Amino acid sequence: MKNKKIFLANCLLVLALLLFILVPFWVSKLFGLVRPISENVSLLLSGSASVIVFGGIALLYCIITKRKFKNVMVIKKISIKQIYLTIFVAFGTYIFAMGINSISFKLFPFAIKDGTQISNLLSGSTMLLGLLVVVLLPAFFEEIFFRGIFLDAYDGVNKKIKYFIITSIFAAFHGNVMQIIYVMFLGFILLMVREYTGSIVGSMTLHAANNAISFILSKVLMNYMNNGIESSALKSAQEANVSIASVLLQASILFLMGGAIIYTNLRKLKEYKDTDSRVRSVEQEENNDTLKYVVRDGNYMVTDGEIRDGKASNLTKYIPLAIYFVSMVVLVVNKY
C-alpha cells in the first residue's frame, strides 16, 4: 500500500506539471488573450492554475486513497503561541533568504532576468490581487500539495530522504534558477514547522507570512524607488563590480541574523510540541492501555506490518519522479 501511495503521488506530480503548462495556454485561447498580457491578468492566470491544478489533484488523491481531506492533509487547529512563533520564523527566513539571493545573483548573473520579471509583475499588479495570488493562494494550495499529499504518501520513508525529495520537488516546481536555492531552504523550514506544529496549518501560516513580508516590502521598495522596477540589490549585482568577498560578508551577516531568529523560534516550537505531546501521551495511556502495542510515528499510527512493507525495494514507484525532474531540467535549460 505504501509503495502504491508513493507511485500515485509521483504520477500526480507529473500530471500537475503538465497541467501547469497547458492550463494557462487553454485559458489564453479560450478568452482570446494576446501578448503582452497585463500584470493583473498574468497573476489571475497563475492563481487560477494553482486552484485548479493543486486543489483538483489534492481532491483526486483523497478520492483515490478513499480518505477524508482533512485527515490526509492533517488539518488541525494550532495555538496562538504557535502562530506567533511561526511568524517570527518567517521573518528569520526572509532575512536568511536575502543572504542566499545576494550570493545567487553574484554566482548566476543570468538569474537577474528572473528577478526583473518578478519585480515587473509585482510593481504592475494591484495590492489586493497581489495579496490574494501571491500570499493567500500559494499558502493554501501549495501546502496541501507539497506538504499534504507528499508527506502522506512518503510516510514511513526515512526522514532525511523524505525531506530531501519533498524540498527538491518543491524547489524544482518554481522553475527558475534565482529561486531554486532559496526555495529549497524555505521548503525545509516549512517541513520543520509542519512537523513541530503537528498540522499543515502551521506550514500554511509560515508560507503566508513569508510571502506577505516579501510582497509588501517589495511593493514599498518599488514605490519608493524612481524606476519602480529593479531593487538596489539587483542593480548592484547587475551594474556594479561588487567583489565576491563583499557579497560573502553581507550574506554572512544576514545568515547569522536570520539563522538566529529561525533557530530560536523553531526550538521554542519543538519544545511546545514536546510538552504538549507528553501531556497527551499521559492522557491517552490512562484511557487506552492498548497504545503500548502500537508504534507511533509522528502524527500517524503505523503498525509493524506497515513498517516491514516500507522496507521493500521497489524502484518502479520513482519512475514518474525521475520523469518530473528530467522534464524540469529540460524546461529550465530551454528557458535560459
- Give tens-digit pLDDT for 142-188: 999 999 999 999 998 999 999 999 999 999 998 777 778 889 999 99
- Measured CA to CA, the distance from residue 216 to residue 213 in angstroms comes to 5
For residues 122-145, average pLDDT: 87
Alpha helix segments (H runs only) across the chain = 2-31, 39-50, 56-65, 69-73, 80-107, 112-124, 127-130, 137, 150-153, 159-173, 177-197, 200-224, 232-238, 244-287, 304-310, 319-335
Closest CA to 43 of 136, 116, 112, 110: 136
What pairs with residue 297 in β-bridges?
Answer: 300
Q: What is the value of pTM for the model shown? A: 0.83
> What was the pLDDT predicted at 292?
46
> What was the pLDDT predicted at 237?
44
For residues 17-45, average pLDDT: 77
Q: Which domain holds residue 30?
A: 2-335
- Measured CA to CA, the distance from residue 22 to residue 15 in angstroms comes to 10
- Provide the number of structural domains found in the chain: 1
DSSP string, 51-98: IIIIIHHHHHHHHHHT--HHHHHT-----HHHHHHHHHHHHHHHHHHH
> What was the pLDDT predicted at 179?
75
> What was the pLDDT predicted at 110?
65
Closest CA to 147 of 200, 186, 198: 200
Angle at 44 between CA 38 and CA 49, to 5 degrees: 130
> What was the pLDDT predicted at 288?
57
For residues 255-279, average pLDDT: 90
pLDDT for 285 beyond 70? no
